[in-house]
Amino acid sequence: MQTLHLIDSSLYIFRAWHSLPDEFHDVDGAPVNAVQGYTRFLCDFLERARPTHVLAAFDESLVSSFRNAIYPEYKANRELPPPELKVQFAYCKQVAAALGLVVLADEQLEADDLIGSAVEMARKQSFRSVIVSADKDFGQLVGLHDELWDFSKNERWDAHGVKRRLGVRPDQVVDFLALTGDAVDNIPGVPGIGPKTAATLLAHFGSLDALLARIEEVPYLRFRGAAQACAKIKAHREQALLSQRLSAIVLDAPLPGGVDALRWRAPDHAALDALFERLRFGPLTRSRCRQLAPGGA
């Protein structure tokens, strides 16, 4: 079975932005520490994984997602990237494209949605998917043959791993987040319902819809705080359903071509050389990028 690798690029750019010192600058003196870190990550990933098909997905904006129209407070707790980081995001896209990767970003769809739609497309064409990210939300996309790969820790989760990590099956992750909420994305969930209670409820009812339809059964379940959990869910029923909509990753976004359009292409060395001149990258990074090629050539 062939494999499609999907990179949650924004995660690794933000990590580099926060972890690398501000000592890397382009020819204009602008900081490029995030670009430096992201490029190193891509080199590490491409050298280790040697993917045949790969997509680098980026978040275009934190405030223009379709989820903001549904719930204006969505991700409102996050600080917007400063202008100097926005410039670096653009550089990172150029680096990924010059290395031969397909780069996707959208004003209304998040990287999660682009990745989810690619996973769904790949599944229909008998590909397995490996999502390169540490974001637990991607657990909802993990099918029988798929994996979630936290590259930095070199930890992988298949469907059984998602169950061990969150306490619910991949197909229950959206409903799990609908109940617990997600502080990172400012998804409210049901106040007072934690991961253990959510997992217990979903183990019994199977889904949020079934739970809401049979809510009167909850006080009779044998777990501590069952009656209080019932009252909380009744009081915040609409909030749980809203959180369910916010947590669900889009699976039907239009993507250019089929999976074959996501094949790793030969790097454009002329574009890389021009870009690295502007970024003032050193010889080590340039040499590593020059040696990268599909198929290990």
Q: Of 162, 190, 165, 166, which Cα lies nearest the Cα of 178?
A: 190
How far is the C-alpha of 174 from the C-alpha of 249, rounded, in Å? 8
**Position 40 pLDDT exceeds 70:** yes
Alpha carbon distances (Å) from 60 to 1, 113, 230, 252: 32, 12, 39, 18
Residue with tokens 């040696």: 291
45/83: higher pLDDT: 45
**126: its two tokens:** 């008998």
Determine the length of the chain: 297
- The CATH code of domain 3-167+250-296 reads 3.40.50.1010
3-167+250-296 and 170-247 in the same fold:
no
Average pLDDT, the chain: 94
pLDDT at 272: 96
- Residue environment code for 232-269, b if the CB has 16+ CB neighbours within 10 A, otherwise e: bbeebeebbebbbebbbbbeebebeeebeebebeebee
- Domain chopping of the chain, boundaries: 3-167+250-296, 170-247
Q: Dihedral sign, CA of 79, 75, 109, 63?
A: negative
pLDDT at 295: 74
How far is the C-alpha of 88 from the C-alpha of 107, rounded, in Å? 17
**Position 297 pLDDT exceeds 60:** no
Taking only the tens place, the pLDDT of each residue in 77-105 is: 887 788 888 899 999 999 999 999 999 99
Q: Assess if CATH 1.10.150.20 describes domain 170-247.
A: yes
Residues 213-240, mean pLDDT to the nearest whole number: 97
Query: Residue 206: phi, psi to the nearest 5?
Result: 90, -35
Residue 287: CB atoms within 10 A of its CB come to 10
256/263: higher pLDDT: 263
Taking only the tens place, the pLDDT of each residue in 191-203 is: 999 999 999 999 9
pLDDT at 256: 82
* DSSP codes joined into one string, 123-174: HHTT-EEEEE---GGGGGG--TT-EEEETTTTEEE-HHHHHHHHSS-GGGHH
How far is the C-alpha of 122 from the C-alpha of 32, rounded, in Å? 34
How far is the C-alpha of 155 from the C-alpha of 183, rounded, in Å? 23
Q: Dihedral sign, CA of 72, 78, 82, 87?
A: negative
DSSP 219: G
Query: Residue 56: phi, psi to the nearest 5?
Result: -105, 110
pLDDT at 136: 92
**Position 113 pLDDT exceeds 50:** yes
pLDDT at 64: 79
**Position 108 pLDDT exceeds 70:** yes
**Position 296 pLDDT exceeds 60:** no
| Percentage of residues of the chain with pLDDT beyond 90 | 89
Q: How confident is the model at residue 257 (pLDDT cuts 50, 70, 90)?
A: confident
